[in-house]
Structure 1
Amino acid sequence: MARRLMRGPVAILCSGQGGQHRDMFALTGTLPEAEPVFAAAAAHLGGIDPRDFVRDADDAALFANKAGQLLCCTQAIAAWTALGGMVGTTAIIAGYSVGEVAAWSCAGLLDLSQTLELVALRARLMDEAAAGLPAGLAAIVGLRRDRLDPMLKANGCELAIVNAADSVVAGGSDAALQRLCAEARAAGASRVARLRVAVPAHTSLLLPATAAFLEALAAAAPRPPRHALLSGLDGDRVRNVVAGCEKLARQIAQTIDWAACLSHCAESRAATLLELGPGRVLARLASAAAPDADARALEDFRSLEGVAAWLQRGAG
């Protein structure tokens, strides 16, 4: 594929788990340059190639915590191998939940092996922290925080992710989320849905996972970023690697402010935003947060050549 440097800023958005599906590698699965990515990921999936895994695994396996995190990061890194050379040095890179680990790889802080090892470790630590507690996440849209926050507290749930002023993800035990979702529907929320994520990510329930992950992350000795990398905790640019490691570990058990990441992209005048997938959720959120920008998902295209042509038009 011909490569051309972008003349303007582009934001790369690395998706989190929950949107994995059977055809998620439709555009990246045949890329020769992505073969090392799939091979490295297979080592963490019991020797099964991710492309075979998404096709053959049952739903329980497909949406298991470890598999979900690995599959989503594999997709982001595979797409980046094909498209990263087109964005020059002005790209803004942000990742949603585990997608932030993939974003560290795309931004040049971690190599492929380090990234996937850290993703697998992150998933294991989160599973261990949540062991014995049926729990997860739920999306709630259409209620502003002044109405929702008291519901969270009353039902024993926590704010996991802020997507927009009236769009959040809550985390907690299954029983607590069931109560919260019922109350949110009764209060007029426009959308209430349990997400296909098996752990209460970004809540204090996973606090035991943070220290060991920080230790492993520091031991990986991440390099300075080659692109503008955003922290999911506050949307600020990661300029100090040590501080960045602390934030990346803390986000396992603290609220992610994705709305702040999108605000940073808008304030930086990123006119082109690309979600690497799987799914289109981040592209939709970006379109709402930056209506004057052109936000797309990889899955909006029929080929990577189409993605490349779109990126080049956005640069002109």
Structure 2
Amino acid sequence: MTLALLCSGQGRQDRTTFDLLAEVPAAEAVLAAATVVLGVHPVEFCRTAPDDALHANREGQILCVTRALATAAALFPEGAPADTLVAGYSVGEMAAWGVAGVWSAADTLALVDQRARAMDAAGGPDDQLAYVRGLPRAAIEDLARRFDCAIAIVNPDQLFVVGGTRPATEAFCAAALAQGAARAAPMAVRVASHTPRLAGAVAPFAAALEATPAARPTLGLMTASGARRVINPSQALAGLARQVAEAIVWADVLDALGERGVTTVLELGPGRALADMAAAVLPNADVRAVDDFRTIGGVRAWLASR
């Protein structure tokens, strides 16, 4: 088995995000580290926070990275197999660096906090992301120019994420549907991630990355910056910082995993959007999401059977 772990981006967090982990001892250290950054235990936060807080940019990023880190700790208390590959989607790449051992959970979450704060300071109060499926990239680029939006993420199967102001992205979606898109709608992400609107966040986030000690990854860490493997983190930090204001091509990351012979894919969550994309791109791989299972024990049993 060649295993790939996929760390999800924000937008799918909900009241049940940590239900699988609430009573798992191996996850407790990560949840405690998140409590320091979030100011409240993440399980309690998801259960009681207002909807606006649950989907706020900073809180959403912290929750999603915590979920991936805690799930990896619960599944692999002694560490994942050394030949495991790990990649992350949007802020999920921060989780991937943590899962791969570049930073401790505490340092990873502190960096996510700084990343989110820099993005909030650089972006506008009504920024958001939207998605569109079923139009070619040239059409998406034309619509983005017309409505002052920008492509944020290029996914497989003509699925794109764009960013801009709320009025601009809503107008973009309406025009995309009128032009024949299969689907188009705003997302529950209130920041124009991976677009030039966040150019002002790059320098402060780069400074935070440079100031944080980084170890060589113990797993096969993939970065969306060029869809390549990270061997020396110091050489990849600049690309990680630029990602907040540059489009990422997730489709290339999935292709790169296929080229490396991945046979088993597990999305750490929340959600299973990455698993669905991986299943389409890697038809010969066995693909699941943690959220497909009722218990962490069930996920462990599935992994053991591969």
TM range (shorter): over 0.9
Moved more, 120-129 or 214-223: 214-223
Give the aligned CA root-mean-square deviation in angstroms: 1.2
Matched with 1:127 is 120
Partner residue, 1:237: 229
Match of 1:118 among 97, 111, 126: 111
* Aligned 8 A contact 1:144 1:165 in 2: no
In the alignment, what sits opposite 2:187?
Answer: 195
SS at match of 2:181: coil
Counterpart-to-counterpart distance in 1, 2:36 and 2:297: 29
**Counterpart Cα distance in 2 of 1:189 and 1:122:** 33
Identity of paired residues, percent?
44
In the alignment, the residues of structure 2 paired with residue 207 and residue 95 of structure 1 have an alpha-carbon distance, to the nearest angstrom, of 21
- Uncovered stretches (5+) of structure 1, i.e. residues with no partner: 1-7
| Structure 2: gaps of 5 or more residues | none
1:86 Cα offset (Å): 6.4
The one of 233, 242, 265 equivalent to 1:273 is 265
1:121-200 mapped onto 2 (5 Å cutoff): 121-131=114-124, 133-200=125-192
Instruction: Report what 1:9 is aligned to.
Output: 2
Instruction: Kindly state the Cα deviation for residue 233 of structure 1 after the two structures are TM-superposed.
Output: 2.5
Q: Which runs of 4+ in 1 moved over 4 A?
A: none
Residue pair 1:140, 1:192 contacting (<8 A) in 2 also: yes
The answer to whether the 8 A contact 1:145-1:165 is kept is no
For residues 236 and 261 of structure 1, what CA distance do their matches in structure 2 show? 8
Structure 1 residue 24: Cα displacement: 1.1
Which of 284, 299, 302 pairs up with 1:292?
284
Secondary structure of the 1:34 match is helix
How do 1:249-268 residues align onto structure 2 when only pairs under 5 Å count?
A: 249-268=241-260
Is structure 2 residue 71 aligned with structure 1 residue 79? yes
Any conservation in 1 of the 2:170–2:185 contact (CA below 8 Å)? no
User: What residue is the counterpart of 2:13 in the other structure?
Assistant: 20
Structure 2 residue identity aligned to 1:32: P
What is the CA-CA distance between 1:165 and the residue it aligns to?
4.4
Residue 268 of structure 1 deviates from its aligned partner by 1.2
Measure, in 2, the Cα distance between the counterparts of 1:33 and 1:311: 17
The AA in structure 1 aligned to 2:38 is L
Give the TM-score, by structure 2 length. Answer: 0.97
Contact persistence 1:10–1:87 (CA under 8 A): no
**Structure 2 CA distance for aligned equivalents of residues 165 and 141 of structure 1:** 8
Measured in 2, the distance between the counterparts of 1:296 and 1:255 equals: 26
Q: Does 1:91 align with 2:84?
A: yes
Residue 62 (structure 1) aligned to one of 54, 67, 81: 54
**SS at structure 2 position matched to 1:161:** strand
1:42 matched to 2:35: yes
TM-score by length of 1: 0.94
Q: CA deviation at 1:240?
A: 2.6
Structure 1 Cα separation of the partners of residues 260 and 80 of structure 2: 15
